[in-house]
């Protein structure tokens, strides 16, 4: 019984190696805005973006929250290359008095530099818009994040 208790304590009291990063940056494309990435573990995170639906004319306020998982990370000498998949939701035009919602599924590729707390990434997202009639759309762009 004593050995079982010791094994239990060692297994569950050992420190974990999960890393919770916080990244702040900008995303340029469609949508356009300030990006916040909250690391929730070694291979998962929450991406929050607040800004505009586009940087072109006819833009409206925009925000999304996306849960990202990282199934693969490529390792180079000076860079990590994470491939991320996600699922989330977005809201449009809250300030204008209208509220439009969408579901989004992004694919993201990043270049995370080992020596600096910097990541450059590109994202393309399939989006289902719920405005009047459901519509399928694509979003995409590039971003830059600084990690704390």
- Report the alpha-carbon distance of residue 20 to residue 92 in Å, rounded: 29
pLDDT at 142 over 80: yes
Burial of 55 (0-12, 13-18, 19+ CB in 10 A): middle
How many other β-carbons are positioned within 10 Å of the β-carbon of residue 121?
23
Pairing of strands 32-39, 22-30: antiparallel
Helices first, then strands: H and E counts in the chain:
1, 8
**pLDDT of res. 7:** 44
**pLDDT of res. 70:** 96
pLDDT at 16 over 90: no
Q: Are 68 and 85 in contact (CB under 8 A)?
A: yes
How many other β-carbons are positioned within 10 Å of the β-carbon of residue 122?
14
pLDDT in tens, 97-131: 777 889 999 999 999 999 999 999 999 999 998 87
Does residue 32 form part of some domain?
A: yes
Does residue 9 form part of some domain?
A: no
CATH value at residue 107: 2.40.160.20
Stated pTM of the model: 0.80
Alpha helices (H) along the chain: 2-13
Does residue 6 form part of some domain?
A: no
pLDDT at 143 over 50: yes
Does residue 2 form part of some domain?
A: no
């Amino acid at each position: 019984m004593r050995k079982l208790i010791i094994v239990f304590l060692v297994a569950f009291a050992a420190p974990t190696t999960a890393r919770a990063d916080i990244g702040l940056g900008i995303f340029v494309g469609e949508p356009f805005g300030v990006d916040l990435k909250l690391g929730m573990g070694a291979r998962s995170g929450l991406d929050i973006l607040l800004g505009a639906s586009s940087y072109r004319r006819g833009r409206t306020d925009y925000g999304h929250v996306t849960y990202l998982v990282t199934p693969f990370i490529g390792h180079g000498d000076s860079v990590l290359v994470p491939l991320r998949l996600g699922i989330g939701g977005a809201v449009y035009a809250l300030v204008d008095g209208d509220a439009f919602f969408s579901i989004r599924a992004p694919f993201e590729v990043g270049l995370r530099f080992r020596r600096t707390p910097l990541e450059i990434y590109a994202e393309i997202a399939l989006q289902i818009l719920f405005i009047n009639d459901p519509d399928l759309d694509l979003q995409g762009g590039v971003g830059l994040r600084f990690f704390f």
